[in-house]
Amino acid sequence: MRATVAAPSYPVQRVTLDNGLRVLLAPDRTAPVVAVAVHYDVGFRSEPEGRTGFAHLFEHLMFQGSENVGKAEHPKYVQAAGGIFNGSTHPDHTDYFELLPSGALELALFLEADRMRAPRITRENLDNQIAVVQEEIRVNVLNRPYGGFPWITLPPVAFDTFPNAHNGYGDFSELEAASLDDAADFFDKFYAPGNAVLTVAGEFDPDTTLELVQRYFGAIPARPVPARRSFAEPVRAEERREALTDKLAPRPALAVGYRVPDPDTDLPAFLATYLLTDVLTTGDASRLERRLVQKDRSVTAVSSYVGTFGDPFDQRDPLLLTLEARHAGDSTADTVLAAVDEELDRLAGDGLEPGELERVQAQVASAILRESDDALGRALAMATFELHRGRPELLNELPGLLSEVTADAVAAAAGALRTQGRSVLELRAGAA
């Protein structure tokens, strides 16, 4: 018996302006708030060699003022209107967003259009944001236990090409070498209207909002849009293993990377692999939680997820399924890996237990519904589906697609992990 999960029916209207900007309008009058998001089709996999961390650095620059907005005024305007704002850099896109009372919609559109047209790229702004990013790296990576593990440290083990393997946070010397010409070229190339998606979700009138969008964004000149690059790499047949030492870590840790199917060419297999992560590590009833934490007591915590930051839908192929564990006592990486292999083989050979598939289908679909229940979550989800898949409607279809995944498909996904060469990164604790 398949799990039954209610499918959402969020309306979405797609319009493309003459300058190439794609616009998604998703009205919803359940709450007097509105979310505005702009997604640019560039992330740290697109930054040039010798400029690691540049996509994230440029995200910071976009908050340093624009043609008609002074330095630090963007946050002040949003907060004065009762809203929140932020931005983030991902492997394949960079996003900027505001969530405000619906009466402040025009303000958000003006602010985003102004920095899409002309951010203030100055030597002073570049230098101070290089310093800010370097301090962020110190706090989040260099001076924190398990800092950068495994999102920075596993890709060089799993991949061979610069786009997939390099440090998206950036090397200090390469950040310091960033020039105004680098910044101007990056803006001209990747921040063109035709390389972006503007999404508005929440309480608004579509016709009036489209007029405002045309007023503020329509006059931004069109520029050439770079061809979308392929970052494809072959799936390895042999295992690759490396180790690092973290002097701040209290316990050893382990990260294992497996390649997953391309969601654009084999969405059913990709969704089966996504469900497999819940079968393995989500909740007390999951396979590896029972085996490694409760029975063997070889690890204190275990998790698995698809995508660099745990969102399987916010990037394109190639993607990893990452399994992460923190050791307990004197357990070794080989002990943990052997148990993982046994559980994957058991899944592939014996299949799922009665009710197991229905449980994880309900868990995953419910999480998707929760995340898209508010205007901001819906805007961000629709934008990434449009940017990466060309179909924001996937947000409505995803719960149904997940309910169609069979137990045999999840078992086959477990078997597929065992037939490829995994990437293993051991983190050793302390100075020894």
Sign of CA dihedral 282, 347, 156, 46: negative
Report the candidate in 23, 202, 11 with the shortest Cα–Cα distance to residue 101.
Answer: 202
pLDDT at residue 335 tops 80: yes
Q: Which residue carries 């964004």 as its tokens?
A: 217
**Domains of the chain in sequence order:** 13-217 (3.30.830.10), 240-429 (3.30.830.10)
Read off the pLDDT of each residue in 394-406 and give the average, rounded to a whole number: 96
309: helix, strand or coil:
coil
What is the DSSP secondary-structure string of 254-296? EEEEEE---TTT-HHHHHHHHHHHHHHHSSTTSHHIIIIIIIS
Cβ-based neighbour number of residue 9 at 10 Å: 6
Q: Residue 322 region, left (φ>0) first, then alpha (ψ -120 to 50), else beta?
A: beta
The DSSP H or E segment spanning 338 is helix 333-350
pLDDT at residue 2 tops 60: no
Confidence band, pLDDT 50/70/90 cuts, at residue 385:
very high
Collect all residues with Cβ–Cβ distance below 8 Å to 399 and sequence separation of at least 6.
5, 6, 7, 8, 365, 368, 369
Residue 177 CA to residue 60 CA, distance in Å, equals 16
Contact, 285 vs 272, CB < 8 A?
no
Q: What angle, 0 to 180 degrees and rounded to 10, lies between the N-to-C axes of helices 407-418 and 267-281? A: 80
The DSSP H or E segment spanning 99 is strand 94-101
Residue 319 CA to residue 309 CA, distance in Å, equals 11
Collect all residues with Cβ–Cβ distance below 8 Å to 123 and sequence separation of at least 6.
180
pLDDT confidence of residue 329: 81
- Average pLDDT across the chain, whole number: 96
pLDDT confidence of residue 4: 59
What is the DSSP secondary-structure string of 375-419? HHHHHHHHHHHHHHHS-TTHHHHHHHHHHT--HHHHHHHHHHHHT
Read off the pLDDT of each residue in 231-242 and give the average, rounded to a whole number: 97
pLDDT confidence of residue 432: 46
Residue 332 CA to residue 432 CA, distance in Å, equals 15
Give the tens place of pLDDT for each residue, 100-137.
Answer: 999 999 999 999 999 999 999 999 999 999 999 999 99
What are 106's two structure tokens?
């025009």
Q: Which amino acid is at 179?
A: S
Cα 408-411-416 angle, rounded to 5 deg: 120
What are 428's two structure tokens?
């050793």
What are 34's two structure tokens?
């509105």
Give the tens place of pLDDT for each residue, 264-280.
Answer: 999 999 999 999 999 99
What are 164's two structure tokens?
């997939």
Residue 420 CA to residue 417 CA, distance in Å, equals 6
pLDDT confidence of residue 431: 52
Cα 288-236-263 angle, rounded to 5 deg: 70
Instruction: Identify the weakest region by mean pLDDT among 7-11, 204-208, 379-383.
Output: 7-11
pLDDT confidence of residue 45: 97
pLDDT confidence of residue 149: 97
23: helix, strand or coil:
strand
What are the helix (H) ranges across 119-205? 123-137, 155-158, 162-165, 172-176, 180-190
pLDDT confidence of residue 8: 85
Report the candidate in 384, 389, 398 with the shortest Cα–Cα distance to residue 265.
Answer: 389
What are 250's two structure tokens?
């209290």
What are the helix (H) ranges across 290-332? none
Calculate what percentage of the chain has a pLDDT beyond 70: 98
299: helix, strand or coil:
strand
Residue 363 CA to residue 283 CA, distance in Å, equals 10
Report the candidate in 313, 328, 319 with the shortest Cα–Cα distance to residue 390.
Answer: 313
Q: Which amino acid is at 6?
A: A
